[in-house]
Amino acid sequence: MALFRKKRRDLGSFVPPEPEPLAPLDDVVEDALKIAYHGVRMAVKNHLIVNALRDGKPFDEAELEEFARGEYHALAETNRDAAVRAQRDLDREEANTGGRIYPGGKPVVVEPDHRRKPLALRAVAHAYDSTAVEHEALKQLVDEAKAAAWDEIGGTLAARLSAPRVDDDPDYAAFRDERLAHFIDEDLAELMKRSATPE
């Protein structure tokens, strides 16, 4: 049995904090568009580099604009799907919070950001779809992606072009005559012997 007991302090009743004011919906959409612009530009840049270096395709502005348009439409579709899920979660949350109260007596309610989330996702999806049909916006994006691609691979290409040629290598030049003589004396002679032998 403890001789001394710690006296409990009365901390009062729990009072939930007031919700922070939500950012204006226009600001949310504008921020989403800025993020998407950088993401789509990077995708176009990578697509352009792959076309040029791996597949050897020429620069095709119309094809790159169509690629960027597809990226925006894909982002819009992703946000529409997310809006459907957010609405379903909101409906479930509203059903579960009805009539509940915090220990201090304040009713439990759905947070404003949860309530607005489906609307915000649909607004962002609409903004992406709208950007996808703006020719000038896509043209600017492609131009910036092209410049970024050149910044990324231009140095590598310049280094390759400025590298010394194999036949400028002193060691290569020193043994070139010997290799040519070996080729003429042995390899060509063997080929002529084979061609003279009847099948």
Give the phi and the psi of residue 101 in degrees, each rounded to 5.
-135, 150
What confidence score (pLDDT) does residue 106 get?
Answer: 66
Task: In whole angstroms, give the CA distance from residue 86 to residue 90.
Answer: 6
Q: Cα(158)–Cα(127) distance, rounded to whole angstroms? A: 40
| % of residues, the chain, pLDDT over 70 | 65
Q: Residue 6: which H helix or E strand, with range?
A: none
**CA-closest candidate to residue 131, choices 27, 25, 48, 41:** 41
Q: Say whether pLDDT at 5 is over 70.
A: no
Instruction: Copy the structure tokens of residue 162.
Output: 């400025």
pLDDT per residue as tens digits for the range 123-180: 999 999 999 999 999 999 999 999 998 888 776 666 665 655 555 566 666 666 666 5
Spatial separation of the C-alpha atoms in residues 141 and 42, rounded to whole Å? 10
**Domain residues of the chain, as ranges?**
25-162, 167-196
- pLDDT tens digit string along 19-69? 678 889 999 999 999 999 999 999 999 998 888 767 777 778 899 999 999
Structure-token pair, residue 61:
């502005």
CB 72 within 8 A of CB 40: yes
Q: What is the DSSP string of 104-160?
A: TSPBP---HHHHHHHHHHHHHHHHHHHHHT-HHHHHHHHHHHHHHHHHHHHHHHHHH
Query: pLDDT band at 1, cuts 50/70/90?
Result: low
Residues 25 and 78: their CA atoms lie apart, in Å, by: 19
